[in-house]
Structures are given as C-alpha cells and as structure tokens.
Structure 1
Amino acid sequence: MAISIQSTGCTSSLYSPSRPPHPSPRCATKVSAGLKIEPQKSMQIRTSDSKPRRLRIVMMPMVPIIRRRNGRYVERLDLWNALYRDRIVFIGNYINETFGNKILATLLYLDSTDNSKLLSVLINGVGGDITPSLSIYDTMQILRSPVGTRCVGSAFNLSAFLLAAGDKGFRLAMPMSRISMQPLAGTAQGKADAIINESYELLRFRDYIYEELAKKTGHPLEKV
C-alpha cells in the first residue's frame, strides 16, 4: 500500500506506523491512499537451524546383468537374486520362521538346479529361534551339493552352529570376525507337565548341538 500526503500551506509531521495519524486543527491535510495489487508470490524462508525436507525413497539396490542372446539383451535383478545366480546364500537376519523358510527354499532350489558346484553360505548374524535354525542345519546336511560356510562379520549363538555346518575344508572366517556361542535358553508356562516337557525338549536340542559340533570339529564331546 502506497500512501501519499498532500499539505495545503502547513507542515505535517511524519507518519509513524506505531500510532494512528491525527488531523491537525490548524491545517487540513488531504490523505489519498492508493492501493497497488501485486500477484502473490510464494517464498520459502530457511532459518539457520532448519534443513530442507525431502521425501526419502528406499529401494532395493539393483544389479544389472547383461546377457547376449541373438542380439542385445539386458536383464535387471535385485541384489539377492544376483547372489543366488552365483550360488551364494546370505544369512544376515535374525532367523525366525519366515526368514528360515526363505533360506530353506533357496538352498533346495539351488541344489536341484546343479549339485556339482559349490554352494556358499555367508553368515553375519546374531542367531535365531531354535526350530528354524536347526531346520536350516539339517537341510544343509542332506544337500548333494558341496556346502561352504564363511563368517563375514559375526556369528553368534545358533549362527555359529550354522557356520560349522559346512563341509570340511570349506569352513572359513574373515580375520576380524567374531564367533561365540551361548547355552540355549527358553521359557515355558502353563501346567507343570508342559513345563517339564519343554525343559526336556530344550535339553535334547542342547545335546544334539554338542554332538554335531563334536562330529564337525573332530573334538571329543567333553571338550565341546
């Protein structure tokens, strides 16, 4: 808004926006206001402590695989399928029923396609539930393909047990890997018979793990 002040034969004081103007009794002041309309403009003001916000999009990293088949053919695969093509299975999550079933299906599929090549299992995990972890171990023992295991970061608890599931001469660990096992733990609730049965089942799993470790490592059971 632009304000123009016209005085007739007298002096007028400056206009202060903090107080409303009062007409002087000694002179008559003509005030004409001209309104200037401009198109509204959007402006983003960034303060010193604010940062620009942008929608974060998380996508699966894509690995391009190029094959030539009667010309030029390009196929894009996600990272995990690209590893499966090279017969590499990566165990990096907590092993529960869902993740364990995916690993089982992958192992069985790779073994059915070609059982003459080495099947590599990379491990970097903290373990998992007893039943899905032992099912992965038992499946690795019945595969016709040679199985190699390698610890690439850490192998704790039942992940360390899966590390021992590889064939002799194909069990490796990176120089800075950490491997450790703890005694099995479980909880039981309900009636006394159910608690006793759960305790016996946990002891049976413990004895099975120790016996398999003794076979794989060649050490006596007492030492394990």
Structure 2
Amino acid sequence: MHTTACQYNRLAQIRPHSPYPSPARSACPQTRGPFLRRSWALRATQRRDPIIAPFVQLGEDPQDGTDMFGYLLRNRIIFIGARIDDKLATQIVASLMALENINPNEDIKMYINSSGGQAYSVVSILDAMAVVKPEISTVAFGVSASTATLLLAAGTKGKRYSMPNARIMMHQPIGGAMGSADEVNIQASELNRTLKVVHSFYSRFTGLPIDTVQEETDRDNFMSPHRAKELGIIDGII
C-alpha cells in the first residue's frame, strides 16, 4: 500500500514528544504569533546544542520539514529514549495505532534506550503491541532496563535485536506504601499481583518457565546481549 504525505501529516499531532521545536515560518517575534515563538525557540535550541540538528528539511519549502522524532515516525520508527510514564505511553500507543491505520502490512521499528518506567504505563503499550497488525521489530541500544526490557522482549519473534554494547536488565517491580496497616496491605497485594503479571509476560515472550523467570528477576539482573539471547529476550545482535 502506498503511503501518502497527507497520511503522515496526521502523525504530527500524535508523535512521541520531541525536545526539538518544529521549523518556523518567520523569525519576526512581533508579527508572526506562534511561528515567531517556534523560530525564537529554534534559534535558542541551536545555540544550546549546535551539534544536533533540531529538525529535518524534507523539501525546498522551509515549512516542508519536521523535527527528528517526527521524521523517524514518518519512516515507521518509534524511538523510546526516556522513562515511560502515562504521557509517553499514550503517545506510543497512539503512534502504533496511527501507523497501523496508514499501512497494516508494513513493519514498525521500535528503538529502546530507557531505564524503564511505570508498570501500568508499560502494560498499556504491551497490549497495543499485541493487537496492532504490523509486526514490530524491537532494538535495544544504550540500556534497556526494568519494564523497558518487557517492551524489548515483546517484539515479533525473530525481529528482536540488541546493539552489541547495550546493557539489558530485568528485575522485580519496585513499590512502596505509606498509611494505615490496611492501606499498606492493599498496596502490597497490588504489588504482588503486578509481580505475577510481569512474570507471566516474561514467560510468554521468552518461553522460559515461571520458576526460571522468578530466579532471573529476583534481583537486579544486568546482562550482555549474548545472555539476553540465551534467555530468549532477543533473537539477534546487530
């Protein structure tokens, strides 16, 4: 299926958060309203970090451009480079659904460099990855730790990879509770339920029995890509 530029333009409203502003129409701060603010922010970004290009120019028209994360999304690449909270999870889920709508037969690539995040937020992404039609290739680089490793393992079998120098870590969910004895018991019960959910996900994605998963996640378990491949978290090393 041919993807039109019009379809990808709709992604501008739901692409994962980018620290880089969009290209501006005018540099005049007093007369161009929002275009001025973007232009002003653009120059400020360039002064702060002149090495990294804040946006990608796609054509001759100055407005025919996008920030780097938007450019990646146009090419069906979802980049996770921060701790995962509700906001980031919502953006990732929306991106998955939009890319499925544009072309359900073309793969999606998910690059992961994250120390993890909120368990509930990550579970929402896992559910979305399970229901969208495109196959999802996951790639770890830098670090894939905690719940981010669940996303790495949740990719399509045979399409889960790691860079050779990445570090991968799995462990138990972490939580804490304050309040009355009853409130603490409620939180402890929910944490135990979350632990069982995490174990079941790892077992499903890796093929390991639950007791082995429990042993591997008993403490912070840092590993090389080769060890992650042995455990079935990834399928290959790039």
Say whether the fold is shared (TM-score over 0.5): yes
User: Which of 49, 62, 85 in structure 1 is aligned with 2:74?
Assistant: 85
- Other structure's SS at 1:58 match: helix
Taking the aligned partners of 2:192 and 2:132, their CA distance within structure 1 comes to 27
Is 1:131 matched with 2:120?
yes
RMSD of aligned residue pairs (Cα, Å): 1.9
Q: Provide the residue aligned with 2:44 in structure 1.
A: 57
Please give the alpha-carbon distance, in whole angstroms, between the structure 1 residues aligned to 2:106 and 2:161: 18
User: What is the CA–CA distance in structure 2 between the aligned matches of 1:111 and 1:103, rounded to whole Å?
Assistant: 12
Give identity over the alignment, percent: 31
> With structure 1 as the length reference, what TM-score do the two structures score?
0.69
Counterpart residue identity of residue 125, structure 1: S
Q: Which residue of 2 aligns with 1:119?
A: 108
Q: What is residue 216 of structure 1 aligned with on the other side?
A: 205
How many Å separate the matches in 1 of 2:63 and 2:145?
40
- What's the offset of the Cα at 1:193? 2.2
The answer as to whether partners of 2:45 and 2:54 remain within 8 angstroms in 1 is: no
Deviation at 1:107, TM superposition (A): 1.3
Q: Secondary structure at the match of 1:144?
A: coil
1:66 paired residue number: 59
Alignment of 1:55-204 (within 5 A): 57-59=44-46, 61-66=54-59, 75-204=64-193
For each residue in 1:164-200, what CA deviation from the matched residue of structure 2 results, as whole angstroms up to 9, or x when unmatched? Answer: 1101001100100100112211111222222212111
- Name the structure where helix makes up a greater proportion of residues: 2
Q: As a proportion of its length, which structure holds more strand?
A: 1
TM-score normalised by the chain length of structure 2: 0.65
Q: Secondary structure at the match of 1:222?
A: helix
Structure 1 outlier segments of 4+, above 4 Å: none
Within 2, Cα distance between the matches of 1:66 and 1:116? 27
How many residue pairs get aligned? The number is 165
Q: Which has the higher contact order (CA 8 A, sep 6+)?
A: 2
Taking the aligned partners of 1:58 and 1:133, their CA distance within structure 2 comes to 30
Q: Contact (CA 8 Å) 2:72, 2:78: kept in 1 or not?
A: yes
